[in-house]
């Protein structure tokens, strides 16, 4: 477990608990793909299912992680890259889902392009998910 997990929790006004440290550390360990609830449950089988759901919710509310909704109906979460804050995400990057390894990753360097919408719509947030084969599975 990272030493810094507790620092990060403190810095974001969350009480430091074992569950939170373990879950947050997982996100730092795992640099490849976004994590599903079930991934976390498998790796931290000492934690209750419900605790994991609630922790993911809190982390998301605090701007530590952001949810990614894929076409397989399972919500994944990935670390926010610094510019998110409590109650407001700024993750305007593209997400990539690989249908070979079923991993979802953030393409942090790829910005979501602007779209022209008729003025009758008010835009709050844009999600862009690209499906295909990732760098690891392409071979």
- Separation between Cα atoms, residue 63 and residue 59, nearest integer Å: 6
32, 54, 100, 136: residue in contact with DNA (rule CB under 7 A): 54
Q: Is 13 exposed, middle or buried (0-12, 13-18, 19+ CB in 10 A)?
A: exposed
1, 29, 49, 135: residue in contact with DNA (rule CB under 7 A): 49
Cβ neighbours for 2, distance < 8 A, ≥ 6 positions apart = 24, 25, 28
Q: Does 75 bind DNA (CB under 7 A)?
A: yes
74 vs 110, which CB is nearer to DNA? 74
Residue 64 near residue 24, CB atoms below 8 Å: yes
Cβ neighbours for 136, distance < 8 A, ≥ 6 positions apart = 32, 98, 101, 103
- Residue 129's binding partner among a second copy, DNA, none (Cβ under 5 to 8 angstroms by kind) is a second copy
- Residue 31's binding partner among a second copy, DNA, none (Cβ under 5 to 8 angstroms by kind) is none
Minimum Å distance from CB 116 to DNA?
31
Number of residues binding to DNA, judged by CB under 7 A: 25
48 vs 127, which CB is nearer to DNA? 48
Q: Does 4 bind DNA (CB under 7 A)?
A: no
Binding site for DNA (CB under 7 A): 10, 14-20, 36-38, 46-51, 53-55, 57-58, 73-75
């Amino acid at each position: 477990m990272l030493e810094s997990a507790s620092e990060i929790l403190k810095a974001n006004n969350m009480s430091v608990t074992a569950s939170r440290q373990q879950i947050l550390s997982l996100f730092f360990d795992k640099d490849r793909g976004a994590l599903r609830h079930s991934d976390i449950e498998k790796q931290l089988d000492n934690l209750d299912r419900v605790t994991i759901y609630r922790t993911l919710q809190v982390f998301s509310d605090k701007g530590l992680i952001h949810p990614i909704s894929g076409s397989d109906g399972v919500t994944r979460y990935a670390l926010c890259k610094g510019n998110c804050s409590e109650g407001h995400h700024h993750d305007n990057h593209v997400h990539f889902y690989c249908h070979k390894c079923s991993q979802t990753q953030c393409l942090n360097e790829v910005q979501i392009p602007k779209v022209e919408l008729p003025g009758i719509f008010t835009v709050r947030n844009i999600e862009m998910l690209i499906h295909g084969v990732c760098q690891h599975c392409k071979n």
